[in-house]
């Protein structure tokens, strides 16, 4: 769900009191910005420079916030361009503001590319490999709540309404979940994955990636599953057809930094089907739950049904532009 809204207002007095716990100088400006998952984000200008202030709203489990902040700190320390949490005078990256967990991270220049081309996909492949390499050695773990074990639970309460979205959808998803639960690979190389690396979360300046953002789905899972998510999010055209040139560019750039193991390559098609189901399901559930008339832009679940159908016909990873 892409909610273009700020959920919480922060008064000048509470913000100034909060900033007094940091060593960032004087408050100069603070503007609510519309971005990211359902947190409240602010562009923050202080004497020390530009930052992002985030208040964690209920969609992000509060017990997970320390994982996300520690991860961004680890990745930034290992050379990844991503928001770096700022620690307050007591050494803590997480504080409280307006009755919510709150953090300040560095502001990254860059903007999302809405229609990525082959060169953008190559840049993404390189950045994804850098993320996976930078994540090695990160000591914390977080299970992926939106992987195969979670999908049937997510679908069950909404299944009866699936056919409102597309005729036969309940049967299609049920059969796909049967397939995925049977064949989901269990022994692939694990590590920190972003798990939501859509074009919205990859900042470019010109043709160069300036940063990766929005780590609030990050978790410990198969690294190749992160690639599968990116194949879905970056390598289809607006009309729904798969673009093997983009996929090849993404995979080649990735492999140049982190070679893929044979089993990762072999499992790409089933991982890509799983990734398509994951976004089909969350978009479908968001659509059912959204209040009518709300100022929320919903993403189309059917886009992911089209992508799922493509992956269902893929025979081997060669269809993604890779040699097996």
Among 91, 139, 259, 293, binds its own copies (CB under 8 A): 293
Task: Fill in the per-residue mask, 87 to 126: x = in contact with its own copies (CB under 8 A), - = not in contact.
Answer: --------------------xxxxxxxxx-----------
43 binding its own copies? (CB under 8 A): yes
Q: Which residue has the tokens 């900033």?
A: 19
Question: Measured between alpha carbons, how far is 277 from 305 in angstroms, rounded to an integer?
Answer: 8
Beta bridge partners of 43: 31, 52
Mind giving me the DSSP string for 181-215? HHH----SPEEEE-S---GGGEEEETTEEEEE---
Please choose, out of 61-69, 162-170, 187-195, 198-206, the segment that lies near its own copies by the rule CB under 8 A.
198-206
Q: Are 116 and 124 a contacting pair, CB within 8 Å? A: yes
4 lies in the site for its own copies, by CB under 8 A: yes
Instruction: Compare residues 17 and 256 and give the one whose CB is closer to its own copies.
Output: 17
Q: Does 15 bind its own copies (CB under 8 A)?
A: yes
Contact indicator for 141, 159 with CB cutoff of 8 Å: no
Nearest to 261 by CA among 176, 194, 195, 191: 191
Q: Which two tokens stand for residue 9?
A: 């207002």
Q: Does 292 bind its own copies (CB under 8 A)?
A: yes
Which of 24, 30, 129, 224: binder of its own copies (CB under 8 A)? 30
Q: What is the DSSP letter of 321?
A: T
Nearer to its own copies, 70 or 107 (CB): 107
Distances (CA, A) of 297 to 25, 115, 282, 294: 37, 18, 14, 9
Q: Which is nearer to its own copies, 116 or 269 (CB)?
A: 116
Q: How many residues bind its own copies (CB under 8 A)?
A: 41
Instruction: Indicate if the alpha-carbon torsion angle 183, 189, 190, 196 is positive or negative.
Output: negative
Does 83 participate in binding its own copies (rule CB under 8 A)? no
Identify which of residues 13 and 90 has a Cβ nearer to its own copies in the complex: 13
Catalog residues that contact its own copies under the rule CB under 8 A: 3-6, 9, 11-13, 15, 26-35, 43, 45, 107-115, 203-206, 291-297
């Amino acid at each position: 769900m892409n909610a273009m809204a700020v959920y919480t207002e922060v008064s000048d007095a509470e913000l100034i009191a909060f900033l007094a716990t940091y060593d960032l100088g004087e408050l100069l400006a603070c503007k609510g910005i519309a971005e990211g998952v359902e947190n409240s984000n602010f562009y923050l200008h202080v004497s020390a420079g530009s930052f992002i202030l985030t208040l964690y709203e209920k969609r992000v489990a509060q017990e997970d916030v320390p994982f996300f902040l520690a991860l961004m700190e680890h990745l930034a320390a290992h050379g990844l361009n991503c928001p770096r949490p700022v620690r307050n005078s007591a050494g803590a990256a997480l504080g409280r503001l307006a009755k919510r967990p709150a953090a300040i991270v560095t502001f990254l220049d860059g903007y999302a590319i809405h229609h990525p081309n082959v060169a953008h996909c190559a840049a993404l492949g390189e950045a994804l490999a850098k993320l996976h390499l930078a994540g090695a050695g990160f000591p914390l773990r977080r299970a992926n709540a939106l992987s195969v074990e979670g999908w049937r639970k997510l679908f069950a309460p909404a299944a009866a309404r699936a056919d409102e979205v597309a005729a036969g959808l309940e049967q299609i998803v049920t059969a796909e979940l049967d397939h995925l639960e049977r064949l989901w690979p269990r022994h692939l190389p694990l590590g920190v994955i972003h798990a939501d690396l859509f074009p919205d979360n990859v900042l470019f300046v010109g043709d160069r990636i300036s940063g990766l953002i929005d780590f609030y789905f990050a978790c410990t899972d198969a690294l190749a599953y992160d690639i599968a998510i990116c194949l879905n999010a970056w390598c289809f055209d607006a009309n729904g057809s798969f673009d093997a040139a983009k996929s090849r560019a993404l995979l080649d750039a990735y492999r140049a930094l982190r070679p893929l193991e044979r089993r990762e390559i072999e499992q790409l098609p089933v991982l890509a089907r799983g990734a398509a189901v994951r976004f089909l399901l969350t978009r479908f559930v968001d659509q059912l739950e959204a209040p009518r008339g709300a100022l929320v832009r919903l993403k189309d679940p059917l886009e992911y049904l089209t992508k799922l159908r493509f992956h269902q016909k893929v025979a081997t990873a060669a269809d993604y532009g890779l040699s097996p």
